Amino acid sequence: MRFSALLLSCATVLLAGCAALSDTVDAINPFSKSVPKAKPAPLPVIQPQAEIGRLWQASIGKAGEYALTPAVVGESVYAAARDGTLARFDAGRQVWRIETGKPLSGGVGASDQLVVVGTPKGEVLAFHARDGKLAWQAQVSSEILASPALAGDLVVVRSADAHIFAFDAASGLRRWLYQRPLPTLVLRSTAGVVLTDKAVFAGFPGGKLVAIARGNGAALWESTVALPRGTTELERIADVASDPVVEMATVCAVAYQGRLACFDSDNGRQLWARDISSVAGLDIGQRAIFVTDEKGVVHAFERNGGATLWKQDKLRLRGVGRPLALDRKVVVGDFEGYLHVLAEDDGSFLARSSTDGSPLLAPLRRMAAENFVVQTRNGGIFAFALR
């Protein structure tokens, strides 16, 4: 237990301003309180080619040092705050708001029946989606930093020590636990899991991607996204620090100081890989895979084969987060609360909009059609539509 705590402590120090790591990681790290020494790129002047319209906005409360990601189920948006506030909004109208009585550290996971959040003490709190009343609670092995994943009769929660717990959605009883050894040093990240009707997909420190059986938690296959390289422990960090993305029969993941790699989701066979370093993560569009690298540069790679299509470097060091692909566009947020809409074909700027001026650390969440929702560090909830 002391060894596991040391791993997380070391990782926190690394991402909170350790001189051995670059300022670019601090710029996109939700847990960092330091200010990057390097100067971010100035906000580029653009000629709007598309419209990004605000549908509605609300407030939930500050996220503090955490990246609290909202959950979207149909017309409903569920959001949480560091102080324990949890609320449901339907098309911008508040349906209910509760105080959970505990500080919250992980984002929200939801289905049409259940809303689940996590705490710094590893408590899993599940509430009924219709009225916000407590359904059940459970315990995991350490702090929860990622949003729980819900599908069917299963709730999957990842703790900060990279243990993955599966709970019965109706009763909260634990069904299984998946765990694996960790390297000496790991990044403290909000990486969660992707839950499909076939498997649970998760990336791990050391550059591994694993498919886990829904039924019993056994590993179906394990593949390598990136291999640790270098002579020091710092140089050898190669963690998958963001959620993988599953699209049809393909699953893709990206590692810090590593690679972007895509695999056959049924058997783990590697389809292709490209060298790139990312903490923010990726998304898959109609014809491209988009990745934000550690310096805030947005890259586009061809879905079939990984050929480079373009890169947009005018947002360098602006704390750019995970891309969100919508139709023929891609949206990213930055550390000043701006949203930037890029063209899928060439990465050119199509539109821009502001929120409340605080960092957009949590991933953007897709809604219906070309709509999406964002949550800022100061607790603003904003829904937008692209036209």
Q: Residue 98's domain is classified under what CATH number?
A: 2.40.128.630
Q: How many residues does the chain have?
A: 387
> Which segments of the chain have a pLDDT < 50?
1-28, 33-35
**Shortest CA distance to 244 belongs to which of 322, 141, 318, 172?**
322
> Given 166, 188, 210, which residue is the final one in a domain?
188
Do 164 and 112 reside in the same domain of the chain? yes
pLDDT value for 10: 43
CA dist 259 and 270 (Å) reads 12
> Do 171 and 81 have their domain in common?
yes
pLDDT at 29: 54
Q: What are 174-230's pLDDT values in tens digits?
A: 999 999 988 889 999 999 999 999 999 999 999 999 999 999 999 999 999 999 988
Residue pair 70/376 in contact by the 8 Å Cβ criterion? no
Same domain, yes or no, for 83 and 180? yes
* pTM of the full structure: 0.91
Query: Quick one: 172 and 242 in the same domain?
Result: no
Question: What CATH number should be reported for the domain holding residue 326?
Answer: 2.130.10.10
Q: What is the pLDDT of residue 1?
A: 34
Closest CA to 237 of 187, 284, 177: 187
- Total number of domains in the chain: 3
C-beta neighbour count of 150 within 10 angstroms: 24
User: For strand 371-375 and strand 365-366, is the pairing parallel, antiparallel, or unpaired?
Assistant: antiparallel
Q: Are residues 42 and 99 both part of a single domain?
A: no
| Pair (112, 140) in one structural domain | yes
Check whether residue 228 and residue 184 sit in a common domain: no
Q: Closest Cα to residue 120, out of 167, 70, 168, 83?
A: 83
Residue ending a domain, among 251, 278, 305, is 278
Q: Please indicate, yes or no, whether residues 230 and 267 belong to a single structural domain of this protein.
A: yes
Q: Which of 237, 257, 278 is the last residue of a domain?
A: 278
pLDDT single digits (tens) 274-306:
999 999 999 999 999 999 999 999 999 999 999
Whether 303 and 334 map to the same domain: the answer is yes
* Domain match, 270 and 243 both: yes
* Pair (271, 329) in one structural domain: no
The range of the structural domain enclosing residue 349 comes to 1-63+284-387
Question: E strands of 34-133, at which residues?
Answer: 52-59, 71-73, 76-80, 85-90, 93-99, 109-110, 114-118, 123-128
Domain co-membership, 113 together with 169: yes
CATH number, position 234: 2.40.10.480
